[in-house]
Amino acid sequence: MKIAYICWETEPKYADEEIENNELLLFLQNNGLDIHKEIWTDSNVNWKKYDLAVLKAPWDYHEKIDMFYSWLDRLEKLSIPLLNPPDVIKWNSDKHYLKEIADTGLPVTPTLYLEKGSHVKLEGFFNKLNTDKLIIKPCISGGSKNTFSTERKEVKHIESKINELLKTESYMVQPFLKEILSEGEWTFLFFNGQFSHCLLKKPVAGDFRVQMHFGGSVHAMTPPAEYLKSASAYVSRFAKNCLYARVDGTILNNRFLLMELELIDPYLYITTDSGSCENYYKALKQRIDNMK
């Protein structure tokens, strides 16, 4: 079976993350898989030669979302199975999905939405979300692009910029969770619904973003059983038939609170756990075997 390993045209700012893409690909090849790296935006790729496609790092999809949706549709028309499934990918690409998860009763970071074309006054959101600091970001986004944090005293300064951005896309508003600074952000990785490994991410002093290219640090963890049980609930409910899932959240009042469910292009932090590549390989091999 010939497999396409889907990535993007790399930019230098993600150089560290690119190491993971290459390391995992080499591991899969060394274990006998006929798998090859392809750039999803490359018009010269002959997709018909592939029997299966695996999304690994299409990290620019949010910047070319219409093109990305069309590419997903093209694979479906060619009857090339995609892991994760296209319907899940499309659902997960727009963070309105958090409302759907919250509506089931699973704990989710409180989120309000600023819809495209609207004109908003941000002052009232502090009271609505019971916070002194807001986080505002696009509903279709990645890598903290166009992500803002603002306090009451700064809100007028940022309001005009948000309203300008709302002319072209929808945004979401969440309370700033101080627990990110004190406790960090928990990340759980699952392959074929089975837990693989866990880590705790912490922002650099003076920042709130935990991504490594913003200076954040990563710490391998053995999660408490109750945290793992909570994280597993999101996967079993919303990541069925998914090769991979990443659950990001924090602990608020001794309860795990979802921040994001990553089902498109999550960084897998394979270097933090010696068995993670093997876990991924076994999950992918199981999916391949089930297709035969």
Tell me yes or no: is domain 97-107+179-269 CATH 3.30.470.20. Answer: yes
Residue 98 has what pLDDT? 98
Residue 122 has what pLDDT? 95
Residue 198 has what pLDDT? 97
Model confidence over 202-215: pLDDT tens digits? 765 545 554 545 54
Average pLDDT on 113-142 reads: 95
Residue 204 has what pLDDT? 59
DSSP 205: T
Neighbouring C-beta atoms of residue 96, cutoff 10 Å: 15
Provide the Cα torsion 43, 44, 47, 53; round to 10°.
-70
Residue 207 has what pLDDT? 52
* pTM across the whole model: 0.92
Right CATH for 112-175 from 3.30.70, 3.30.310, 3.30.1490, 3.40.1400:
3.30.1490
Three-state DSSP class for 200?
strand
Average pLDDT on 112-141 reads: 96
Residue 210 has what pLDDT? 47
- State the pairing for strand pair 133-138/171-175: antiparallel
Residue 12 has what pLDDT? 56
Residue 91 has what pLDDT? 98
Closest CA to 110 of 162, 159, 170, 173: 173
pLDDT band at residue 219 under the 50/70/90 scheme: confident
In the CATH scheme, what is the code of domain 2-92+284-291?
3.40.50.20
Q: Domain residue spans in the chain?
A: 2-92+284-291, 97-107+179-269, 112-175
Residue 11 has what pLDDT? 63
For residue 87, is pLDDT > 70?
yes
